[in-house]
Amino acid sequence: MENLNTYLQELIQKHRSNTEGTTANYIPELARVATDKFAMAIVTCDGTIYQAGDVEVPFTLQSTSKPFVYAMALEEHGREFMRSRVGVEPSGEAFNSIVELEKQTHRPYNPMINSGAIAVSSFIKDQKGLSREKRVLDLFGAYTNHQLAIDEKVFQSEKQTAHRNRSIAHLLRHFDVIGDDIDESLDLYFKQCSILVNTIDLALMAGTLANNGVQPQTKKIIVKPDYIADVLSLMLTCGMYDSAGEWAYTVGLPAKSGVSGGLLAVVPGKMGIAAYSPLIDQQGHSIRGVLAIKELVKKYKLSMFRSTHN
Ligand code: GLU
């Protein structure tokens, strides 16, 4: 792995010239970010960091926040409650689909799509004098080992234009999946999506999941190991939305993308991988990030389904 920094650099050079895709133009603040930025980082379970490209450039978590807030809700409410409110099946629909509630139960299909994630956020409440917002910020700060902040402009921009997410939340209220604090729940969801990180932060988050919930550098337990499989299995089957099947087939790793261009993948027991580049495809995935991670995984045979013993 000594040459990993050089290899990551090669991937950045190779794919930076790809200008396919668009920024997430349905959120005005995200539409105007610099499109040439591209970074990759890897954090191994022993805490070693490999990196290349624009790793210091900040971006908002967007949907890469979803598995982590789901893990927090699982710890607080337990598996039984969470499964009674949010399913564990891939929806095969786009991330912001309005028709993504199960026919019989009216639960959202899974916590990785917007309906499920908005429901999950509604279960995170103020606790012991700490606001739900502060609690979520502190959680991500524990993953990244430094205090994080919310990008107020992105938060406001998303909040003001979130007609679709608002209608999903009201549908969830209609079916009693969430309670009356609809606006507060949506605010928390928009805020978790607006938390600023860089690519190394994202790799540390992925590295913590890879390391069974223990932050690879601080060695603190951030997620109870018992819940790691819940989160990783959902990332594998639902993390890449309506291209989750293609991702599992070609990459074979639990992953999560965000419309800001962040992408993280987890090699259980080995490493967390992160990429950032803001030009996204129709499904909302970073185009350069997907290409680069696919190549990295192929070269080092990192797929969970590929035996390394031959
Ligand atoms: N905040 C975004 C939304 O709700 C997140 C979508 C994503 O990153 O996939 O539309």
Judgement on whether residues 272 and 200 belong to the same structural domain of the protein: yes
Q: How far is the CA of 114 from the centre of ligand 1 (A)?
A: 7
Structure tokens at 221: 């337990």
User: Are 116 and 26 part of one and the same domain?
Assistant: no
Q: Same domain for 174 and 149?
A: yes
Mean pLDDT along residues 8-34: 95
Statement to judge: residues 123 and 31 lie in one domain: no
CATH code at position 205? 3.40.710.10
Q: Are residues 204 and 180 in the same domain?
A: no
- Please pick, among 7, 109, 143, 241, the residue that the annotation labels catalytic: 241
Q: Is there a single domain that holds both residue 97 and residue 214?
A: no
- Is 152 part of a structural domain of the chain? yes
> What pTM was estimated for this model as a whole?
0.96
Residue % of the chain over a pLDDT of 90: 91
Is 159 catalytic? The answer is no
- Given a cut of 50, whether residue 310 has pLDDT beyond it is no
Does 251 map to a domain? yes
* 283 and 184 within one domain: no
Q: pLDDT of 166-204, one tens digit each?
A: 999 999 999 999 999 999 999 999 999 999 999 999 999
49 and 113 together in one domain: no
Place of tokens 């490493």: 271
Query: Would residue 63 show up in a list of annotated catalytic residues for this protein?
Result: yes
Residues 182 and 105 in one domain: yes
Q: Are residues 41 and 82 in the same domain?
A: no
Question: What DSSP character marks residue 114?
Answer: H
**HSE (CB half, 13 Å, CA atoms) of 161?**
14
Distance from chain centroid for Cα 32: 21
Q: Amino acid identity, residue 182?
A: I
Q: Looking at the DSSP assignment, which residues form a beta bridge with residue 256?
A: 264
* Nearest atom (ligand 1) to Cα of 114: 4
- Residue 2's pLDDT is 58
Number of domains in the chain: 2
Specify if 233 maps to a domain. no
Q: Whose CA is nearest to atom 1 of ligand 1?
A: 62
Kindly give the number of the ligand 1 atom that is closest to the alpha carbon of 62. 8
CB 84: neighbour CB atoms within 10 A? 13
Query: Rounded to the nearest whole angstrom, what is the distance from the C-alpha of residue 6 to the centroid of ligand 1?
Result: 32
Strand partners, 53: 39
User: Do the domain assignments include residue 309?
Assistant: no
Q: Which domain holds residue 13?
A: 4-60+196-222+238-300
Q: What gap in Å lies between CA 143 and CA 124, rounded to an integer? A: 18
Ligand 1 atom closest to the CA of 158, numbered from 1: 1
Q: What CA–CA distance (Å, rounded) separates 199 from 52?
A: 10
Burial of 56 (C-beta count, 10 Å sphere; 0-12/13-18/19+): exposed
CA dist., res. 211 & res. 261, Å (int): 24
The yes-or-no answer on residue 70 being catalytic is no
